[in-house]
Copies of this chain bind each other. A is one copy, B any other.
Amino acid sequence: MADRKDMPHVVIVGGGFGGLNAAMSLAGAPVRVTLVDRTNHHLFQPLLYQVATAGLSPADIAVPIRSVFSRQRNVRVLLAEANGVDLPGKRLLLDKGELRYDYLVLAVGATHNFFGHDEWGTHALGLKTLDEALRIRERMLLAFEGAERTTDPEARKRLLTFVVIGGGPTGVEMAGAFSELATHVLSKDFRAIDPSQARVVLVEAGPRILAAFPEDLGKRAEAQLASLGVTVEKGRPVARIDDDGIAFGDGERIDAATVVWAAGVRGTKLSRALGVELDRGGRVKVSSDCSLPDHPEVFAIGDMAACRDKNGVDVPGLCPAAIQQGQYVARTIRAEIRGKPREPFAYLDKGTMATVGRKRAIAMMGKLELAGFLAWLAWMAVHVFFLIGFKNRFLVMFNWIWQYFTWKRGARLITTHTGVEPQLLLAAAPDGPVPSLRTTDAASKPAPTR
């Protein structure tokens, strides 16, 4: 790339919606781009809950970042982790080495917010990466396996109880999908247990679920969840999460082997390492052109940034916002290279949606509100459209059509050596009594043994 050495170097950190779109929108621009991500794939996060509930395979919703850019010659991709930024020196500090930049676009997203109880992260499983989705899937499948084997009714009840914490779209989608998995997909697969007796509880600290939606739509979703057999606990903040389940502030417990955290996000370590002003959620405060107030050549976009756009709108932490910001930053850099002044960012709210099971959803766009099957069709169409890669779109559509008609979920694999997975299998002899054993919960995968 000898001809590019004197071109401005744009370094983009993060291969999610924001970073990917920024790089894609710089195609053909007179810059050289380095895109850094600590995984090798772009993840379609809105469908991650489907991997977690064994509906889709990882490869259906993820695409290798390299293949997205294989033909875009001004982009090179680096598998690396960013640890910090030397802002005066214009250097991005990596796990190994560094990158000097002329423009820096930070788009690393957010991490889980346990509201001061980071220790809960060892018991409750989050849902932001493929790794986490696969762990939830494993935990959930093993819970059913453990319930099948145990003769202890208390243990069985605990294993067949699934708690999802957080009443936003992610939590609602997870809870609905869990319930359908238990009630329909797995219903004939076991002999000692009836999976449809599984109990799914959605816990929300605030007075209603889907608080970002109008109240009537939130109520519709609640009714949809109820028809799927999901118990919704509103106005009940969690006070404690441990090996055995959760406890509310009043001491009431729910014993559950699987607890999923979808209750909040905050900024990552990288955001803190910048040394700039953050908001209460740890997000980086940026100007209306998405740049750091004192460093116009550094942009922060997507979930990691707190941006008030040109119309005074607080840009929400949604995928369409990250996409728009990524495209905006690329346009801004191109214009600036040509000597033009910057225009502020303007967020265009195209509507939001949340799905509840296989044929229900709620959606709103401006004043238009949809609920039920129509909303679900809209949800499907939008999500398939935004998937990157024709093959992925086809596979996801195929998988959904298959599941719609057959209820079979094909991605129900436990791939780590689980025969002696201690955390969930309770000791039981199907033909005779054996004392019940239970070991401690572990969020990390045990090292496989043969």
Is the CB of A312 closer than 8 A to any CB of chain B?
no
* Chain B min CB distance to A217 (Å): 34
Is the CB of A339 closer than 8 A to any CB of chain B?
no
| Complex CA distance for A418 and B40, rounded to whole angstroms | 8
A428 touching B58, Cβ below 8 Å: no
| Complex CA distance for A432 and B89, rounded to whole angstroms | 15
A429 touching B96, Cβ below 8 Å: yes
Is the CB of A340 closer than 8 A to any CB of chain B?
no
| Complex CA distance for A408 and B394, rounded to whole angstroms | 15
CB contacts (< 8 Å) of A67 on chain B: these are 189, 408, 412
* Contact pick for A66, options B58, B98, B129, B189, CB 8 Å: B189
In the complex, the chain B residue whose C-beta lies closest to that of A416 is B131
CB contacts (< 8 Å) of A186 on chain B: these are 66
B70 touching A188, Cβ below 8 Å: yes
B429 touching A410, Cβ below 8 Å: no
* Contact pick for A419, options B80, B408, B437, B450, CB 8 Å: B80
B66 touching A434, Cβ below 8 Å: no
Chain A contact-residue range equals: 35 or more
Q: Which of A155-200 contact B (CB under 8 A)?
A: 186, 188-192
CB contacts (< 8 Å) of A76 on chain B: these are 191-192
CB contacts (< 8 Å) of A191 on chain B: these are 1, 76-77
CB contacts (< 8 Å) of A410 on chain B: these are 59, 63, 389, 391-392, 395
* Contact pick for A62, options B70, B71, B100, B413, CB 8 Å: B413
Q: Which of A28-71 contact B (CB under 8 A)?
A: 34, 37-41, 57-60, 62-64, 66-67, 69-71
B64 touching A425, Cβ below 8 Å: no
Given contacts A40-B418, A427-B97, is CB(A450)–CB(B111) below 8 Å?
Answer: yes
CB contacts (< 8 Å) of A131 on chain B: these are 415-417, 448
Contact mask for chain A residues 234-260; partner B; CB cutoff 8 A; 1 contact, 0 none: 000000000000000000000000000
* Chain B min CB distance to A137 (Å): 11
Given contacts A96-B434, A189-B67, is CB(A81)–CB(B40) below 8 Å?
Answer: no
Is the CB of A6 closer than 8 A to any CB of chain B?
no
| Complex CA distance for A70 and B188, rounded to whole angstroms | 5
Among A17-25, A141-149, A295-303, A361-369, the stretch in contact with B: A141-149
Is the CB of A411 closer than 8 A to any CB of chain B?
yes
In the complex, the chain B residue whose C-beta lies closest to that of A81 is B419
* Contact pick for A413, options B1, B40, B398, CB 8 Å: B40
Among the interface residues A59, A95, A392, A447, which one has the most CB atoms of the partner chain B within 10 A?
Answer: A59
Is the CB of A337 closer than 8 A to any CB of chain B?
no
Is the CB of A211 closer than 8 A to any CB of chain B?
no
Among the interface residues A100, A188, A414, A419, which one has the most CB atoms of the partner chain B within 10 A?
Answer: A419
| Complex CA distance for A194 and B47, rounded to whole angstroms | 34
* Contact pick for A189, options B60, B70, B78, CB 8 Å: B70
A432 touching B97, Cβ below 8 Å: yes
| Complex CA distance for A64 and B80, rounded to whole angstroms | 35
CB contacts (< 8 Å) of A284 on chain B: these are none
Among the interface residues A67, A100, A410, which one has the most CB atoms of the partner chain B within 10 A?
Answer: A410
Given contacts A80-B149, A98-B432, A429-B97, is CB(A418)–CB(B57) below 8 Å?
Answer: no
Is the CB of A212 closer than 8 A to any CB of chain B?
no
Is the CB of A79 closer than 8 A to any CB of chain B?
yes
| Complex CA distance for A37 and B190, rounded to whole angstroms | 14
In the complex, the chain B residue whose C-beta lies closest to that of A191 is B76
In the complex, the chain B residue whose C-beta lies closest to that of A142 is B79
Is the CB of A445 closer than 8 A to any CB of chain B?
yes
| Complex CA distance for A448 and B447, rounded to whole angstroms | 11
Is the CB of A402 closer than 8 A to any CB of chain B?
yes
CB contacts (< 8 Å) of A66 on chain B: these are 186, 189-190
Given contacts A57-B57, A66-B190, is CB(A97)–CB(B419) below 8 Å?
Answer: no
In the complex, the chain B residue whose C-beta lies closest to that of A447 is B444
- A38-B420, A40-B145, A79-B425 given. 14 additional CB < 8 A pairs? A37-B419, A59-B411, A63-B410, A66-B186, A67-B189, A76-B191, A77-B189, A95-B425, A96-B425, A96-B426, A97-B428, A99-B431, A130-B413, A389-B410
Closest 8 CB pairs of A and B: A38-B419, A97-B429, A81-B419, A66-B189, A70-B188, A76-B191, A79-B145, A96-B427
